[in-house]
Amino acid sequence: MDDLVNNFTDLSISKVHNFHLPDTVKRQVEALKGNLRFLRCFFNYVTMRGTDYEEIKDLLTHTRSVASEAACLFYACLVEEMSPQTAFDMNFQFCNLLRMIKPIKPDVRQIYIQVLKDSSSSGSSVLSPAMNEHATVGFIGSLLEFIPELLNRKASDMISLRDHMTMLQVELRFLNDFFMDFPRSCTDPAVYGNHDLMRSIEAVTRESGSAIFSLSDEEIEGNISWQMNIMLSDLLEKGEIKQMFLELSKALRDKLPLIGGLEFIEFLLGNLKELFW
C-alpha cells in the first residue's frame, strides 16, 4: 500500500519522465491517493491492536482487492494513450475504485465497523504510546478528512446531525493535535502503566470511527438519522476526551513533574494558537 501511495504521488506531480495526465484524471489520482492513505492508516490501526486473523480476514481480503485494482489503474495510466475517450473511461474506473474504498457500500461499511467492534472486544492489551501513536494519529487524521465530506452533503437527514458532527470534528482535532505533540514522558510505564488514559483514547477513537462510517451511508433514512443523533450526542456528552487530558495532566504532575511539564505546556500553547487563527 505504501508503494501504491508513492506511485500515485509521482503521477500527480508528473515525476514520470515524458508523462502528462489530463487535469480530470489528476483530480481523480489525488482523490484516490487520499483514500489509499485512509485504508493504509485504518489497516495499520486495527492490526497493531493484536486483532486475530479471523477478525480481520474480510478487511485483509478487501485491502488486497483494492490494492490489485489500484495497481492495474496505475499501470493503465502509464501505458494508455490519453485520448478524451480514454480519460473518460479512466475517470469511471477511478470513481468505481473510490466507491470500493469509501464506507459507502453496505458490505464495505460493515467490514470496517465490524473490525472496529472486534478490536474493542478482542481483549488485546493496549500498546505503549510510543508504539501505537503513529497508527492512531493516522487513523484519526483520516476520520477528520471524512467529516467535511459528510458536512457538505445536501441530504435533509444530515442537517439535523450537522451540529454534532461539527462538535465531533473539534474533539477529534484536539485529540489529533495531542498525539502529534505527544509528551514523550508518557511512554514511561510509571505514567501509563496503571492508567486507563490510552484505553479511553482507544474507546473514543473506535466509537468515532464507527459513527463516521455509519453516517457515510448515502441512503441514510430519517429514523437512522435520529438514532445516529442520539449516538453522537452520547459520545460527546461522555466528556471522555476532556477528562482524559485532565487525568494525563495529573499523572504528569504527580509522577514526572520535571520531565513532561515543558512538553505539555508546548502542546497547550499550540492549541491556544490554533483557536486564535
pLDDT in tens, 67-120: 999 999 888 888 877 888 888 999 999 999 999 999 989 999 999 999 998 876
The 8-class DSSP code of residue 185 comes to G
25-63 tens-digit pLDDT:
888 989 999 999 999 999 988 887 767 778 889 999 999
| pLDDT tens string 168-195 | 888 888 778 777 766 555 545 555 554 5
Say if residues 134 and 247 touch (Cβ distance below 8 Å): no
Answer whether 136's CB lies under 8 Å from 49's CB: no
Q: What is the mean pLDDT of residues 199-216?
A: 83
pLDDT at 221: 53
Reported pTM: 0.77
Kindly compute the dihedral angle of the four CA atoms of residues 129, 131, 136, 138, in this order, to the nearest 10 degrees.
Answer: 140
